[in-house]
Chains A and B, each alone.
Chain A
Amino acid sequence: MTSLADRLFISLKNLDGYKLINMETCTRCATCAHSCPAYAVTREDYAVPAWKSVEFRRLLNRQRGSLSAVLGERPVPREWLSNISTKGLYLCTLCGRCMPGCVFTIQNLELWEVLRSIIYEEGEASPSLLEIADSLQKKMNPYSRDHGERLSWVKELGPEGVKEGQRAKTLYYVGCTSSYQEKTIASSTANILSRMNEDWSLFGKDEWCCGDPNIAVGDQEKAEEFAKHNLEVASSLGASRIVTSCAHCYRMWRWKYPEMTGRHGFEILHTTEYLQECLRSGALKLEGKLAARVTYHDPCYLSRLGGVVEEPRNILNSASENFVEMREGKFDTFCCGGGAMTETVDQKLWTKIGDERLRQAEIIEADFIISGCPFCRRSLTQAAERSGSKMQILDIVELVAKQLKD
């Protein structure tokens, strides 16, 4: 028996009727397990996607059962929350593959985000996520790095003469992972933008995290605060369009910011969309097609959750001679393991999923995996290093930057 003190009323403010209907449609058939990368590599019962919604329903039915309007709400035992947090909630990269993988196409991802927010608000989030939350709060990035270091890649890798926080038509939103970890993506993108004679600038010191890690943490309010801040900076710099090289930032700017703060007037482009536009207009000319066998790993947040699928393929067909598709690609893409800050939250899961994706590229005997997201680049590079594979991992902007025609 749990004592009264160990019970609490959870906050259900992020749950709405649409999400609830989605949740109550689940028949616990477990079909979604076979789409889930976390389940594929762990085979743990608690990694089955719907386990989370079954537990979520249990919380909900306890607190707000069908008769709660008459009988009043009942508190839920705290141990139910810690059980969710320690067992299965974070065996998940928030890749969204369990939505098309569900027989009814239940929008599970939104449910996982709400459940994370409940667990976070009640103080039951995983300790590593709490560290990330602290870093986001104090340093505006999830990596506990000084905000002042955010632009260090400019000095280290160039190009020279990059504008920072100045008025421009186009702003390059770098994002935290390219700013602090995968810096070559930032410098390659900056190189391309400069070579395209674009009127462009970086956000500069006013760039904050896009808010995607806040959602992984479960802090939806902070995500909204970051969204508002970034939108204000973009407005103050008089920009009309934002280019980003990160799939997670792209999804936030393009699809989540309007939901959080209302529609904004910016045109949001992922670098693959921008590059395709430049190729089509003739502004971008490439030389020396890559002869090696090249495959493309669709970042979940760019394809399934972003809607950018054909653009990178069009670019790769221009930049390489031997492009091959991987299995489980496009809308059905298999995660790299990097979403939801999994590298920090669950190293084992992160490495296993990364290893599996690398293996899929090895099956088709690719020499290069190209992607469009710093998280994917990082996860797959580390997987290749771990296994001693000769596979080369590049972001699409790195490949294009190398082939720019003078």
Chain B
Amino acid sequence: MPDLMLLFDFTRTLLPPITLIVFIIGVMLRLVKWASFGFAKKDRPLGKSNRLIGAIKNWSIDMIPPWDLAGRVEPVAYVTGIVMHISCILILLGALHAASVQNIIGIPYTQSRLRLPAIPASNIPVSIPRNLLTYIITPVFLSSLGIMILRRVYYSLRGGPLKSLTRKGDWVAAPLLWSAGFTGFLVVVAVEPYVPLLTLHLILTQVFIMYLPYSKLIHSATVFLVRTWFGFRKSIYGV
């Protein structure tokens, strides 16, 4: 197994900085592209209500879908979308991932500005009970993401709104995330062979991180701007 151990070491020593560099280059390219189009301040009309309140509303009560949406949208798609995102965030907040962040950025996680309140004390205790994370949240995440992928496959074959929107990238982003999640799950539930699975998990995860700024996964960052801006817009209209 010497080659495998070499690869395993690589994923924990050399690969993280490469991942970080590729990720940062991707982020820089995006930022440069956005900036090249300019952010000229428009002479907005005087709004009817407060912008901050508009943003808060768009991040809270306005996230509740209209009462009749269930009649219009496929409820499965809506629910799986929400469940997948929430469970994904919870998994990332889990202890092991927090520790990985600590390793990669080199700053003790608890002192880092990236620190999240969900993980308080010094040695990163598991703030979400480990069993809950492993046996409930992760399977929920994998199934909801799996349904999303299958839905795209189904509509791509059968026709429907998703068909005209599906592009090559859609067959990379979600399957990559699912595979990273699945291998991680196998590692945590101690499926053998442990080292190859962990190696695969670390590779997939880091490829995912590298891919993020170059793909539609960028929405994980831009959503914070976009939702806030629409909140501002609605506050101008006072709705």
Interface on A for B, CB 8 Å cutoff?
A: 12, 15-22, 24-31, 33-35, 39-40, 45-46, 48, 50-51, 54, 64, 66-67, 69, 88, 99-100, 103-107, 254-255, 258-259, 262-263, 303-307, 309, 327-328, 331-332
Known contacts being A51-B165, A258-B45, is A306 close to B237, with CB within 8 Å? yes
Complex contact B164–A45 (CB within 8 A): yes
Cα–Cα distance between A66 and B163 once the two chains are bound (Å): 26
- Cα distance A106–B165 when bound, in Å? 16
**A309:B226 contact, CB within 8 angstroms:** no
Q: Which of B68-76, B93-101, B112-120, B136-144 is the interface stretch? A: B68-76
CB distance from B67 to the nearest CB of A (A): 9
Residue of A nearest to B68 (CB): A327
Partner among A24, A28, A35 whose Cβ is within 8 Å of the Cβ of B166: A28
Given contact pairs A255-B45, A259-B45, A105 touches B227 in the complex (Cβ within 8 A): yes
Q: Is the CB of B237 within 8 A of A255?
A: yes
**For the complex, what is the distance from the CA of A309 to the CA of B73, rounded to whole Å?**
25
B12 CB within 8 Å of chain A: no
Assess whether B237 is in contact with A66, with CB atoms less than 8 Å apart: no
Q: Which residue of B lies closest to A69 (CB)?
A: B32
Residues of A within 8 A of B72 (CB): 34-35, 40
Ordered by A's residue number, 12 sampled pairs between the chains whose C-beta atoms are within 8 Å are: A17-B37, A20-B33, A21-B226, A25-B223, A25-B226, A30-B165, A40-B72, A45-B160, A104-B219, A105-B58, A105-B226, A105-B231
The residues of B that contact A107 with a CB separation of less than 8 Å are 226, 229-230, 233
CA distance A17 to B58 in the complex (A): 21
On chain B, the residues within 8 Å of A306 by CB distance are: 237
With A45-B161, A107-B230 known as contacts, the answer to whether A17 contacts B39 (CB < 8 A) is: yes
Dominant secondary structure at the B interface: helix
A18 and B68 form a contact (CB under 8 A): no
The A interface, classified by DSSP as helix, strand, loop or mixed, is: loop
From B38, B46, B216, B225, contact of A28 by CB (8 A): B216
Contact flag A39-B161 (CB < 8 Å), given A21-B226, A28-B166, A304-B239: yes
Bound Cα distance A309, B238 (Å): 10
| Complex Cα spacing A313 to B190, Å | 63
- Chain A residues with CB under 8 Å of B192's CB are none
Decide if B6 is an interface residue (CB 8 Å cutoff).
no
User: A66-B214, A69-B32 given as contacts; is B167 within 8 A of A25 (CB)?
Assistant: no
- A21 vs B229: C-alpha distance in the bound complex, in angstroms? 11
Q: In the assembled complex, which residues on chain A have CB atoms less than 8 Å from the CB atom of B164?
A: 45-46, 48, 51, 54, 88
Instruction: Check A31 against B225 for contact (C-beta < 8 Å).
Output: no
B-side contacts of A34, CB under 8 Å:
69, 72-74, 161
Is B66 close to A, CB under 8 A?
yes
Q: Which of B38, B58, B214, B231 has the most CB of A within 10 A?
A: B38
Closest chain-B Cβ to A309's Cβ sits at a distance in Å of 6
Question: Which residues of chain B come closer than 8 Å to A25, judged between CB atoms?
Answer: 218-219, 222-223, 226
Q: With A and B bound together, what is the CA distance between A40 and B69 in angstroms? A: 13
Residues of A within 8 A of B230 (CB): 99-100, 105-107
Q: In the complex, A27 Cα to B40 Cα: how many Å?
A: 26
Cβ-defined partner of A262 (8 Å) among B43, B167, B219, B236:
B43
Asked whether B165 lies within 8 Å of A28 as measured between CB atoms, the reply is yes
- Chain B positions within 8 Å of A18 at CB level: 39, 229
The smallest beta-carbon distance between B156 and chain A, in angstroms, is 11
